[in-house]
């Protein structure tokens, strides 16, 4: 009788521990998904801001058509890469960042532009968006690290194996040797 009670108690305690681990894994996974969507929101915001910027500066910069074209093309490429997984997307967004950097460098040469209120506020918005992207990426990578640790470390790795939790990719992981995150990107 006592033995039965002890066994039951042990089973119940084990069940509670298992449930706790499972729930925490689900919570971590949701955090990873959510932080990924945060990056996505900011990327879209940047894509939306760029045409305004190009419009605002293009009359001043008749000699810099090449720089402007590069930005526009990089934006189009980044939007296209949106549904090709984080690897391709990160690459395209990097190109866009580079092209924006050279655009802002060129703006420095035009005193008229630097004094233009519209350009200034667009520049602030783009800087903020860049920062938000990098902070969202930082938070995403931190979330992935915690989640992957949970999946790979004992004892939660047992639960993770049973319920098919899979590790996620860092935003800039080397070659796609890990499973691509299941995220909905448009």
In the complex with other proteins, the residue whose CB is nearer, 7 or 81, is 81
Those residues with Cβ within 8 angstroms of residue 75's Cβ, 6 or more apart along the chain or in another chain: 47, 50, 51, 96
Q: Is 134 in the site for other proteins (CB under 8 A)?
A: yes
Long-range contacts of 110-113, Cβ-Cβ distance < 8 Å, separation of 24 or more: 110/60, 110/61, 112/60, 113/57, 113/60, 113/61
In the complex with other proteins, the residue whose CB is nearer, 72 or 142, is 142
Choosing from 29, 32, 33, 42, the residue that interacts with other proteins (CB under 8 A) is 42
Choosing from 6, 105, 153, 180, the residue that interacts with other proteins (CB under 8 A) is 105
Choosing from 21, 32, 35, 181, the residue that interacts with other proteins (CB under 8 A) is 35
Comparing C-alpha atoms, which of 74, 27, 32 is closest to residue 51? 74
Those residues with Cβ within 8 angstroms of residue 100's Cβ, 6 or more apart along the chain or in another chain: 50, 71, 74, 126, 130
In the complex with other proteins, the residue whose CB is nearer, 27 or 161, is 27
Choosing from 48, 112, 172, 179, the residue that interacts with other proteins (CB under 8 A) is 172
Q: Is 165 in the site for other proteins (CB under 8 A)?
A: no
Interacting span for other proteins (CB under 8 A) from 21-29, 72-80, 99-107, 178-186: 99-107
CB of 171 to other proteins, least distance (A): 7
Interface with other proteins in residues 3-22 (CB under 8 A): none
How far, in Å, CA of 25 to CA of 165, rounded? 8
How far, in Å, CA of 123 to CA of 29, rounded? 35
Those residues with Cβ within 8 angstroms of residue 81's Cβ, 6 or more apart along the chain or in another chain: 88, 89, 91, 92, 93
Q: Which residues in this chain contact other proteins in the complex, by CB under 8 A?
A: 31, 35, 38, 42, 90, 93-94, 97, 100-101, 104-105, 107-108, 121, 123-125, 127-128, 130-139, 141-143, 145, 170-173
């Amino acid at each position: 009788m006592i033995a039965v009670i002890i066994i039951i108690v042990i089973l119940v305690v084990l069940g509670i521990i298992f449930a706790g681990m499972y729930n925490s894994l689900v919570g971590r996974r949701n955090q990873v998904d959510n932080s990924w969507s945060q990056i996505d929101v900011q990327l879209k915001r940047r894509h939306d801001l760029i045409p305004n910027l190009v419009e605002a500066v293009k009359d001043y910069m008749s000699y810099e058509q090449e720089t402007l074209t590069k930005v526009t093309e990089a934006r189009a490429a980044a939007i296209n890469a949106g549904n090709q997984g984080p690897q391709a997307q990160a690459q395209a967004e990097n190109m866009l960042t580079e092209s924006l950097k050279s655009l802002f460098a060129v703006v420095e040469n035009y005193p008229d532009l630097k004094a233009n209120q519209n350009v200034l506020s667009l520049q602030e918005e783009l800087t903020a968006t860049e920062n938000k992207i990098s902070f969202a990426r930082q938070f995403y990578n931190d979330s992935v690290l915690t989640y992957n640790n949970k999946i790979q470390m004992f004892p939660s790795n047992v639960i993770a194996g049973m319920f098919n939790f899979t590790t996620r990719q860092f935003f800039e992981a080397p070659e796609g040797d890990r499973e691509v995150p299941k995220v909905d990107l448009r």
